[in-house]
Structures are given as structure tokens and as C-alpha cells.
Amino acid sequence: MKFVWMIPRILWKLWFVLNFLITLLLLYPVFLVLLSRESRFGAAFHLIRFWAKWLCYGAGLFPVVKYEIDINNIPEPCIFISNHSSYIDIILSYVVVPNFFIFVGKQELDKAPLFRLFFKRMHILVNRKSNVDSHRAYLRSGEKIDKGQSVFIFPEATISSSGTLIPFKNGAFKLAIDKQVPVVPIVFFDNWKHLQSGGFLTSNGRPGILRARMLNAVGTKGLTNADLIPLREKVKSIIQETLEKGIGK
């Protein structure tokens, strides 16, 4: 009986993967051209946003996004911070954030040939097990901010398959303080329920509504390294409280 209930879940996941691969292959030549020069990254970003919406709606996933912040006055540059509970998080990030940003992601993404195009050329990959590589990624992120480009970081540094927050790393908040740029928290409520990390046969997988909320910016002007932990915990608390309010809605 349990296997019978798994069939729709498996079929939906297969369709999600198929939809992803087919559309990526169709768009790949265009991305190859756009990502060949940094001057075209803006156009590539808008194409990724279009593709992200295509992936969501094509899989029966319907984003419902609310903005506490003025969407027409999102500070630039800034550091976007979000909880991380699903592979959908990256896709939905492009739906939620209208302004150009750079992702800081795991080095493992470089091993996938199709993903390498995006993350090696446009975004920043980091091997968190290497202090040298982590520092290099930190410096590159700072350079992007100096150019006026926002950065998107998952401070948990891994996926929480249960949807609950796990401890935040310091890097994003140290960067925000060093560069004196605001932190903009984003909350994903339901992603883990629709595409959960874990076993392909046993983890969650289904269409439905993806709720997200972009919160007001948290300023860092005048903060120093002594404020690093309080800033980190403040942002974590804001995200946690928003998650708790969203449960059951």
C-alpha cells in the first residue's frame, strides 16, 4: 500500500527532472553566448528568471510571493539571506528577487557539466572544507559588492530536509559588516514539502503552492566585527519567527 502512494510522487519527480533537462538543453546555446562575457550577465539573469518561472509553472508549482520591503526600492548592493530546505530554493530565488544578484554556492555544483556553465562563470563556488578556498570566495564576493552587485547566500550552508533552521555560518554577516551593506532576509515556507532532499523514492515530491516572503532590510551601517554574532542571531530570529507564523497557513 505504501508503494502505491509513492507512485504519484515518483512520477512527479521524473516529470520535474525531465522538464528541467529539456528546457535547459533548449536554452543552453543562448546561455552559452550570454555567459561568455560579463557584460551580458544581466541579460543572462533575466533569462534565468524566465526559465525559473517556466520550471515552476511547468511542474505545477505556483509561487505566491509577499514583500514587506518596497520591491521598487530594494537596496543595491545588498546580501540576500534565506533559509535552505530544498533544491527548489535556488529556482524560487530567481522568481522572488527581481534585481541582479550573484549566488555563492557549493563547489559540488561544478561537478555537474550543465550547472558548471552557470556557477563557474556567473556565480561563486566555494569549497567550505578548505579555509583557503573559503577565503578566496569571500574576497570574490566582496569584489562583486564593490561593483554594486548583490550577493545571495544560504547561511546554513546545507539543506535542512525537515524545513527547520539549523545554525547559521558567520561568513555572510561578516561580509555585510565589512562592506557596510544591508542584509535582506527571504523566507521559503513550503519548498521542502514539494521537493525534499533525500532518497528519490522516499522524500517529498508534489506540485502545489510555494509561499515566499521578502522581509525588510537589516542595516549594518556603523556595525563592527564585535556585532557579528548579534547580527547573525538577529537575522536568524527574524527568519525563524516568520517561519513559525507561516506554519499552518
Count the residues in the chain: 249
pLDDT computed for residue 62 by the predictor: 97
Domain edges within the chain: 2-246
Q: Torsion angle, CA of 20/21/27/28, rounded to 10 degrees?
A: 130
pLDDT computed for residue 248 by the predictor: 45
199-244 tens-digit pLDDT:
666 677 889 999 999 999 999 999 999 999 999 999 999 999 999 9
H runs (alpha helix) in the chain: 2-34, 41-58, 88-96, 113-121, 131-146, 171-179, 191-194, 228-246
- State how far the alpha carbon of 166 is from the alpha carbons of 133, 154, 171, 176, in Å: 23, 11, 15, 20
CB 84 within 8 A of CB 196: no
The fold of 2-246 is Glycerol-3-phosphate (1)-acyltransferase (3.40.1130)
How far is the C-alpha of 108 from the C-alpha of 113, rounded, in Å? Answer: 11
Report helix, strand or coil for 238.
Answer: helix
How far is the C-alpha of 83 from the C-alpha of 188, rounded, in Å? Answer: 7
pLDDT computed for residue 9 by the predictor: 82
pLDDT computed for residue 22 by the predictor: 94
- Residues of the chain predicted below pLDDT 50: 248
